[in-house]
Amino acid sequence: MTPTIISLANLKGGVAKTTSSLYLSRFLPGKKLLVDLDPQTDLTEDLKINEEDIENTVVLLFEDTDCNINEAIIKINDEIDFIPSSISLSLSLVGYERNIDWHSVLREHFEDLEQYDWIILDCPPALTVNVTNALVASDFVIVPFDSDRRALKASTYIEEYLIQVKNKVPVKLLWTRFDGSTKIINDWCLNELANNKKLPSIFDTRIPKAVAVTNANVMPDPLHDSTSKAALAYKKVANEIEAWVK
C-alpha cells in the first residue's frame, strides 16, 4: 500500500488548517498518520500530548535524516497515529532555510511508511523549510481559507510555490468557518473565486462555523465531535477527497 499524502497549507494563520487536519484524520477511511509540522504545536496540544511524556517529535526527522521514522510516531487510536511537534522545531530548522537538499527530507522518510492509507500534514502559515518539505512530499494539497480578503489572497501563493519546488500536484481550496450572515464579504469571496484565475478550484462543501469546534479547544476529548454541523461537513469533504484522489 502507498499512502496518499495531503498537506493542509496556507500562508494565512487562523484559517482552520489545524482543525481541518484533525477532522479529516478522523473522517477519511482507513489508517492515517497525522503530522504536526507547526512549531506552535497547536495540533499536539489539541491531542493533549505533553512533550515531557514523549521521546521524540517531528524534530527528529529533520535532525537525524537517517533515523527510523517509527521512533517519532505515537498511537492516538486504532485508526490514527501521530507525529507531534515541538517549539524547538523552529531552532532546528535555522540554517537549513536556503539549502535545497533539505527539501526532500520528509518525502524520503515517508517512503518507508506502507502501513498507512493517508498521511496528513498540518503546516504552519509560512514557506519555511518544514512547509517546503511537506509540499514536496505531497500528492495533493488542501488550502483552507475563511471569509477574509487576506486569507483568499494568501491562498493564491501555494500553487505558484508548488511549481517553484517542482511538485505541481493538484490543489483545492476549502472554505472554512463559513457564516452565511456575513453577506458582503461572502459575496466578495464568491466573486473572487469565480474570476481570479490565480485561485485553485474549490471543494463543493463549505465548513460552517460551529460552536462545537470553538469549544473543542478546551474539551477533554479532542475527537469527541462527530455530530456538529462542522463535523458533518468535514465528513462530506472526506468523501469529496476520496473521489478527488482516485
Ligand X SMILES: Nc1ncnc2c1ncn2[C@@H]1O[C@H](COP(=O)(O)OP(=O)(O)O)[C@@H](O)[C@H]1O
Interface with ligand X by CB under 6 A: which residues?
13-19, 42, 176-177, 207, 209-210, 213-214, 217, 230
9-28 residues in contact with Mg ion (CB under 5 A) are 17-18
Q: H helices of the chain, where?
A: 17-27, 42-46, 59-63, 88-93, 105-110, 129-137, 149-154, 157-164, 183-195, 211-216, 229-245
Least CB distance from residue 120 to Mg ion, whole Å? 13
Q: Total residues contacting Mg ion (rule CB under 5 A)?
A: 3
16 makes contact, choosing from ligand X, Mg ion, none, with CB < 5 to 8 Å by partner type, with ligand X
| Residues 6, 143 contacting (CB under 8 angstroms) | no
103 binds Mg ion (CB under 5 A): no
Torsion from C-alpha of 88, 93, 95, 101, nearest 10 degrees: 150
15 makes contact, choosing from Mg ion, ligand X, none, with CB < 5 to 8 Å by partner type, with ligand X
Comparison of 42 and 81: residue with beta carbon closer to ligand X: 42
From the list 2-10, 38-46, 56-64, 166-174, the region that binds Mg ion by CB under 5 A is 38-46
Least CB distance from residue 101 to ligand X, whole Å? 28
Comparison of 62 and 234: residue with beta carbon closer to ligand X: 234
- ∠ CA 82-167-98, nearest 5°, is 80
Q: Nearest-CB residue to Mg ion?
A: 18
d(CA 139, CA 154): 21
